[in-house]
Amino acid sequence: MFTRLFESLAATEKLSRVFSDGPVLQAMLDFEAALARAEAKCGVIPEFAAAAISRAARPEAFDFGELTRLSLRAGTPAIPLVKMLTAQVRAADARAAGFVHCGATSQDVVDTALVLLLRQSREILARDHERLAAALRRLAEEHAGSVMLGRTLLQPAPPITFGLKAAGWLGAERRGWQRVASRFDEALCLQFGGASGTLAALGDRGLDVSAALAAELGLVLPDAPWHAHRDRLAALLAALSIYTASLGKMALDIALLMQFEVAEASEPESEGRGGSSAMPHKRNPTGCMLTQAAAKRAPGLLADFIGGMAQEHERAVGGWQAEWPLVSGIVQSAGVALESMTEVAEGLKIDAVRMRSNIQATRGAVFAEKAVVHLAPELGRDAARQKVEDAIRETGAPPPIHGLDEPEAYLGSAEAFRRRLLKENA
């Protein structure tokens, strides 16, 4: 299953499946079934009731269209879900029907289901991140000696190596993923508080049931329910947005290197990718384009989420109800950017000859700084700088100095930085 056509540039097939109707419903039913089993273990409900509820918690037994329609009427999918699940249980064992959703509230179902979906998303993102990191490491190693123009403010600058550039991308993605992973660790926690976040309906068994439920679902047990405290989710979404922005920086660099007049890099060729509907000659940076779109989309979604964090008292009116599209949108943005740049990095073609020729095309102008350093001991720094500026203004090139325009001789600590970045990512 893939996403709707309207969202086809903003999602991946794998993550579309995670946030499609079946898995979303399954996650909510998983909560209800796990709750029943946990309560049975703690002696709150009978074993037979937990068994009946678990058997009835199957998505195929539910009418998705009707559930969607009723969710809009109820303001939450949990209310019609519980009614439908209760009817399913009653049809199989009337004695068990009264034990469905015991002690829980609607937000417990919705929030924990979201956490379960985030856990699935993490696994998908982590696999693509590892692929991307491996591809960037390979590029950084293979092109350790591939000299190219440095570019500052979109103008030619002293040379660097493509190996250093790729290592820089890798460093940013590593730091970004460390943030994402730590925020996932924090956010993947149970939501279970009942009506006012006290589990009063469970008497003195609330804490026991909470611990058993967290164990059933394999989630962290928080210190207390977090109905109106959305900081963990916000921190995760912020980390994902930063990670996506770093992917966007990499995408922008590669798209600029792909410009016809630059021609130093190109995305891999594949069926249906990179072409133009009107111009057969074009090789468009499609993967970079999708990544840039995601990087532009995520900050607005994050701002909307943070804007909804000031929530009223113990449970909010409109705050958490706004979150599902925002959370899925940010996760999907990170996913499509990551999948796109992984494909790009794994097949990226680098033209090292063109990189060197673009340095040569500056007629040594990018070595002006080096010329000043060379002349300064004899002329003084200010006079040396003026001499170089005058020469470039008059001839387009600095004064002739032996070995001035050898890029390998003016790389400074580029290789040391490249190695340090790769060591950090070992």
Number of helical (H) and strand (E) elements in the chain, helices listed first:
15, 4
- CA–CA distance, 254 with 259 (Å, rounded to integer): 9
Residue 266 has what DSSP assignment?
A: E
Query: Strand, helix or coil at 208?
Result: helix
Active site positions, annotated: 276, 315
3-state SS record for 221-253: CCCCCCCCCCHHHHHHHHHHHHHHHHHHHHHHH
Chain centre distance of CA 373: 44
Assess contact for 302 and 296: CB atoms under 8 A.
no
- CA–CA distance, 104 with 308 (Å, rounded to integer): 24
Closest CA to 194 of 183, 206, 182, 186: 206
- Those residues with Cβ within 8 angstroms of residue 194's Cβ, 6 or more apart along the chain or in another chain: 103, 104, 105, 108, 200, 201, 202, 206, 225
- CA–CA distance, 178 with 106 (Å, rounded to integer): 33
Closest CA to 270 of 336, 344, 166: 344
How are beta strands 349-350 and 147-152 bridged, if at all?
unpaired
